[in-house]
């Protein structure tokens, strides 16, 4: 039960702030809708107040037309009140003196009284001709007539208050949350007060206008008090506990003086304290920058939240307060400028909730660069308008070109300088990854892999990952990152990138994934190269054993010097062909068998072994080099085994064909009548028992054929049988492509 009450108490700030935001919004909306309404959209043109548009169902519809200049307004039979362009100014703080503000409040109050009293006489001018019309204002303003800027200010204030209440609910014991609530309430008061008087049609009750203007000033200063105090304690407290007290005393006093309108000018009353508060916010944020040194988590929060405050509050001050303080008109509506404060509270939610803390730095830099571009755009625009006297459209166009050609090309360079990251060029990264993948030993590969990660991320340390890693993944909110190993190097874990100044981000994860993928491609190619080299080595070894060995054996058994020399010369020729030209030229099947018969007859005859050769209706086909090489090797190895081991006096070699796809299979049978088995049975042909049978089996199976070896059951001798497709798989593919 106590836990339930505790949770309810924790949620109380959120519900209270929500109720306050709703109550304030309802009050402001009610006051805005209960003002007298003429249905006019007025603007300043050529030094006068001009009708820009008239609502179709307005009381003035038909009586006034767009383009009419309103010279004065007066109750029927009463004193006329002349209209001046400053009567339409959005923010009365732009007037030079507080006395001017009071005069404006009184004047608009008199207009409001006249409109509420009944019909009023409007003196209009058009093309130098004056006329007078009498109209009666509606007692209420329609909801649909409220402009977008009103709702923007209303939503900004509500959002600030509700989010601050939520923060206080989840961080109820932290001073920073309390200070943030102060800033949120200040923004609520300031934006809602401005929403009420900035969208007035023409008039407003004097007391309501004066109070709303004072509340707007107090709310702005209260926002600054909360922000300064919060940066003194968040993310880290770096000053004594009493440090926020002078902030409340000094700026609280200034806010009271501003509310009472004691000071002589709005600059001293409002603009100057706001500017001083902004400077104090920046100083407090800089202090946090030093206080969070060596604490990447706090530094990540500070970057994002501090930057959001500088952009939001700083943008408002730069676009609204500063121009008014120096006598210029603001570049954008104050109501829309309030939307900049939403940046602060979005940063607040992300910072306090620590949502994707590792990505805050990336977002902060992006926000900084966009804000920098916008700031430069407005700066160039103001300079061109007020110093060169260009019109607004040419000035804005030229400012846009200057930003595009000066700022944007420098943005990437600024990002590298400010982030402090080590950016490898594509060629550098390619070389380092290839060095890792192509390292000859696992230990060297591991060392080079660690060097690459150190070069990319500069972590404080790298150690073995505690668990298997299949893909890069962030650990401990970005404090560490696990990376998969490369070809036996072992999985690794990196801690605290950029010498402990930052957190790992999702962009870092993507970068490691790209490096791992690139390295995997290198490793796959290296393995393919090694497999190809091994296959070629084995081919040469088989050819040396099956072809060269048999020919040298024939030369060894030959008693004739001329024949011996001829065999040795043929062996050297075949050796060169084996090493440098494994392909060769296509040969007709019968021609190949004729050459092999002559060669084998000489070999066997030199050992006093009789050859019986049989060919059974062989097809008329031309063989490809790979098939030719296999037939030669199988026949030479089979006869070579007889010469070496069989102690036979007769060898039988026969050829038949077996129907099948393409040209079918050539079946070669080699039989001897020796008293000694040529080799062990095929099932026992393991390493150490000789390479002959293994070579024959490898050749036939590689070409899609079959091989068998067995003892003759009814007498002495052995039978070797190999079935080989006359067209290999590669040849079939080539022939089909040629036919297509």
339, 157 in Cβ contact below 8 A?
no
Burial class (CB in 10 A: 0-12, 13-18, 19+), 731: buried
pLDDT digits (tens, 9 = 90+) for 171-203: 777 888 889 889 999 999 999 999 999 889 889
Domain 584-739 architecture:
2-Layer Sandwich (3.30)
> What pLDDT is recorded for position 70?
93
Which whole number is the average pLDDT over 195-214? 92
Torsion of CA 50, 51, 53, 56, to 10 degrees: 180
38, 58 in Cβ contact below 8 A?
yes
654, 565 in Cβ contact below 8 A?
no
Nearest CA-CA partner of 666 in 574, 590, 575: 590
pLDDT digits (tens, 9 = 90+) for 150-179: 998 999 999 889 888 888 887 777 888 889
Nearest CA-CA partner of 454 in 426, 479, 477, 424: 424
> What pLDDT is recorded for position 372?
60
231, 279 in Cβ contact below 8 A?
no
Helix (H, G, I), strand (E, B) or coil at 454: helix
> What pLDDT is recorded for position 726?
81
> What pLDDT is recorded for position 154?
93
Q: What φ, ψ does residue 336 adopt, rounded to 5°?
A: -70, -30
- Residues of the chain above pLDDT 70, percent: 71
Q: pLDDT class for 625, splitting at 50, 70, 90?
A: confident
Residue 99 pLDDT greater than 90, yes or no? yes
What is the token pair recorded at 48?
């006068």
Residue 423 pLDDT greater than 80, yes or no? no
- CA 116 vs. chain centroid, Å, equals 59
DSSP labels, 555-616:
HHH---HHHHHHHHHHHHHHHHHHHH-SS---EEHHHHHHHHHHHHHHHHHHTT-EEEEEE-
How do strand 129-135 and strand 718-725 relate by DSSP bridges? unpaired
Look-up of token digits 């070409």: 703
Average pLDDT, the chain: 79
Residue 738 pLDDT greater than 50, yes or no? no
Burial class (CB in 10 A: 0-12, 13-18, 19+), 83: buried
pLDDT digits (tens, 9 = 90+) for 5-53: 444 445 788 889 999 999 999 999 999 999 999 999 999 888 899 999 9
Residue 559 pLDDT greater than 80, yes or no? no
DSSP labels, 259-288:
HHT-SSSHIIIIIHHHHHHHHHHHHHHHHH
**Spatial CB neighbours of 77, under 8 Å, sequence gap ≥ 6:** none
Torsion of CA 185, 191, 192, 197, to 10 degrees: 150
> What pLDDT is recorded for position 520?
82
Residues β-bridged to residue 720: 670, 709
Which whole number is the average pLDDT over 589-612? 84
Residue 124 pLDDT greater than 50, yes or no? yes
DSSP state of 320: I
Give the lowest-confidence range in 66-75, 438-447, 681-690: 681-690
Q: Which residue has the higher pLDDT, 25 or 533?
A: 25
Most confident of 497-501, 542-546, 678-682, 719-723: 719-723
Q: pLDDT class for 212, splitting at 50, 70, 90?
A: very high
Residue 395 pLDDT greater than 80, yes or no? no
Residues β-bridged to residue 723: 667, 706
Residue 630 pLDDT greater than 70, yes or no? yes
Q: pLDDT class for 106, splitting at 50, 70, 90?
A: very high
Number of residues in the chain: 740
Nearest CA-CA partner of 593 in 650, 673, 654, 550: 654
Residue 677 pLDDT greater than 60, yes or no? no
pLDDT digits (tens, 9 = 90+) for 241-299: 899 999 999 999 999 999 999 998 998 998 899 889 988 988 998 898 888 877 777 77
Q: pLDDT class for 513, splitting at 50, 70, 90?
A: confident
Compute the distance between CA of residue 532 and CA of residue 202 in angstroms, rounded to an integer.
Answer: 88
> Where do the domains of the chain lie?
34-145, 147-167+185-194+203-355, 356-419, 426-524, 584-739
Nearest CA-CA partner of 373 in 391, 343, 399: 399
Burial class (CB in 10 A: 0-12, 13-18, 19+), 513: middle
584, 623 in Cβ contact below 8 A?
no
244, 232 in Cβ contact below 8 A?
yes
- For the chain, helix (H) and strand (E) counts, in that order, are 25, 17
Which whole number is the average pLDDT over 611-615? 91
Residue 681 pLDDT greater than 60, yes or no? no
> What pLDDT is recorded for position 238?
87
Compute the distance between CA of residue 582 and CA of residue 544 in angstroms, rounded to an integer.
Answer: 12
Which whole number is the average pLDDT over 117-125? 91
Q: In terms of CATH, what superfamily is 34-145?
A: PDZ domain (2.30.42.10)
Look-up of token digits 């303003």: 141
Q: Which residue has the higher pLDDT, 111 or 318?
A: 111
Burial class (CB in 10 A: 0-12, 13-18, 19+), 690: middle
Burial class (CB in 10 A: 0-12, 13-18, 19+), 288: buried
Which whole number is the average pLDDT over 478-493? 85
DSSP labels, 691-722:
SHHHHHHHHHHHTT-EEEEEE-SSSS-EEEEE
pLDDT digits (tens, 9 = 90+) for 434-467: 888 888 888 888 888 888 888 888 888 888 888 8
> What pLDDT is recorded for position 273?
92
Q: Which residue has the higher pLDDT, 389 or 657?
A: 657
Q: pLDDT class for 211, splitting at 50, 70, 90?
A: very high
Q: pLDDT class for 595, splitting at 50, 70, 90?
A: confident
Torsion of CA 410, 413, 417, 418, to 10 degrees: 60
What is the token pair recorded at 363?
């977002």
613, 656 in Cβ contact below 8 A?
no
Q: pLDDT class for 662, splitting at 50, 70, 90?
A: low
Q: pLDDT class for 209, splitting at 50, 70, 90?
A: very high
Buried residues in 167-203 as b, exposed as e (16+ CB within 10 A): bbbebeebbbbbbbbbbbbbbbbbbbbbbbbbbbbbb
> What pLDDT is recorded for position 4?
39
Q: Which residue has the higher pLDDT, 366 or 204?
A: 204
Q: pLDDT class for 320, splitting at 50, 70, 90?
A: low
> What pLDDT is recorded for position 689?
39
Helix (H, G, I), strand (E, B) or coil at 459: coil
What is the strand order of the sheet 610-615 is part of?
A: 610-615, 650-658, 665-672, 718-725, 706-711
Helix (H, G, I), strand (E, B) or coil at 422: coil
Asked if residue 235 has a cis previous peptide bond (ω within 30° of 0), the answer is yes
What number of other Cβ atoms are within 10 A of residue 325's Cβ?
Answer: 20
> What pLDDT is recorded for position 174?
81
């Amino acid at each position: 039960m106590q836990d339930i009450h505790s949770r309810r108490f924790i949620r109380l700030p959120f519900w209270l702030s929500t109720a306050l935001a709703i109550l304030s919004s309802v009050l402001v909306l009610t006051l805005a809708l209960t003002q007298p309404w003429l249905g006019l959209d007025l603007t300043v043109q050529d030094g006068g107040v001009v009708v820009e548009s008239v609502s179709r169902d307005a009381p003035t519809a038909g009586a006034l037309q767009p383009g009419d200049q309103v010279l004065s307004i007066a109750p029927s039979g009463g004193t006329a009140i002349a209209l001046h362009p400053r009567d339409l100014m959005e923010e009365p703080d732009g007037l030079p003196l507080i006395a001017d503000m009071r005069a404006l409040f009184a004047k608009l109050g008199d207009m409001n009284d006249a409109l509420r009293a009944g019909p009023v006489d409007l003196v209009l001018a058009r093309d130098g001709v004056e006329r007078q019309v009498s109209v009666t204002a509606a007692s209420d303003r329609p909801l649909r007539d409220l402009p977008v800027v009103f709702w923007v200010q209303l939503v900004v204030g509500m959002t600030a208050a509700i989010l601050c209440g939520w923060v206080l609910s989840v961080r109820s014991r932290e001073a920073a949350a309390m200070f943030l609530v102060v800033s949120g309430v200040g923004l609520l008061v300031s934006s809602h007060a401005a929403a009420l008087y900035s969208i007035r049609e023409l008039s407003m009750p004097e007391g309501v206008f004066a109070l709303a203007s004072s509340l707007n000033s107090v709310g702005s200063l209260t926002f600054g008090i909360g922000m300064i105090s919060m940066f003194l304690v968040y993310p880290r407290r770096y000053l004594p506990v009493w440090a926020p007290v002078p902030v409340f005393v000094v700026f609280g006093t200034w806010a009271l003086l501003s509310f009472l309108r004691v000071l002589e000018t709005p600059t001293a009353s409002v603009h100057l304290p706001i500017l001083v508060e902004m400077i104090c916010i920046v100083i407090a944020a800089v202090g946090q920058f030093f206080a969070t040194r060596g604490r990447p988590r706090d530094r990540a929060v500070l970057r994002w939240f501090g930057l959001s405050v500088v952009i939001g509050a700083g943008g408002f001050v730069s676009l609204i307060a500063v121009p008014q303080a120096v006598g210029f008109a603001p570049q954008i509506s104050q109501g829309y400028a309030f939307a900049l404060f939403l940046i602060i509270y979005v940063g607040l939610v992300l910072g306090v909730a620590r949502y994707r803390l590792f990505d805050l730095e990336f977002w902060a830099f992006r926000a900084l660069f966009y804000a920098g571009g916008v700031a430069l755009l407005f700066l160039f625009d103001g300079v061109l308008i007020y110093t060169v006297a260009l019109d607004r459209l040419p000035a804005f166009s030229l400012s846009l070109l200057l930003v595009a050609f000066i700022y944007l090309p420098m943005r990437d360079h600024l990002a590298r300088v400010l982030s402090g990251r080590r950016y490898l060029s594509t060629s550098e990264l390619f070389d380092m990854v290839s060095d890792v993948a192509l390292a000859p030993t696992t230990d060297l590969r591991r060392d080079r892999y660690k060097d690459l990660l150190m070069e990319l991320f500069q972590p404080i340390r790298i150690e073995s990952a505690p668990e298997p890693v299949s893909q890069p993944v962030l650990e401990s909110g970005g404090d560490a990152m696990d990376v998969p190993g490369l070809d036996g190097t072992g999985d690794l874990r990196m801690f605290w990138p950029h010498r402990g100044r930052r957190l790992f981000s999702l962009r870092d994860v993507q970068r490691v994934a790209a490096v791992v993928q690139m390295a995997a491609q290198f490793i796959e190619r290296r393995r393919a190269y090694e497999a190809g080299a091994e296959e070629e080595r084995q081919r040469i070894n088989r050819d040396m054993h099956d072809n060269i060995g048999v020919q040298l054996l024939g030369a060894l058994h030959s008693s004739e010097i001329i024949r011996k020399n001829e065999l040795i010369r043929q062996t050297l020729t075949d050796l060169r062909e084996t090493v440098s030209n494994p392909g060769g030229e296509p040969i007709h099947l019968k021609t190949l068998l004729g050459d092999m018969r002559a060669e084998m007859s000489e070999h066997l005859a030199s050992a006093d072994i009789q050859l019986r050769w049989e060919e059974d209706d062989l097809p008329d086909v031309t063989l490809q080099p790979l098939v030719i090489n296999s037939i030669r090797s199988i026949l030479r190895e089979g006869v070579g085994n007889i010469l070496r081991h069989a102690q036979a006096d007769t060898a039988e070699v026969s050829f038949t064909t077996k129907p099948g796809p393409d040209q079918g299979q050539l079946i070669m049978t080699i039989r001897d009548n020796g008293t000694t088995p040529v080799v062990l049975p095929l099932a026992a042909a393991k390493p150490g028992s000789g390479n002959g049978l293994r070579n024959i089996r490898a050749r036939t199976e590689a070409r899609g054929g079959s091989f068998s070896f067995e003892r003759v059951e009814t007498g002495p001798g052995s039978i070797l049988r190999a079935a080989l497709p006359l067209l290999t798989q590669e040849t079939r593919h080539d022939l089909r492509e040629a036919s297509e």
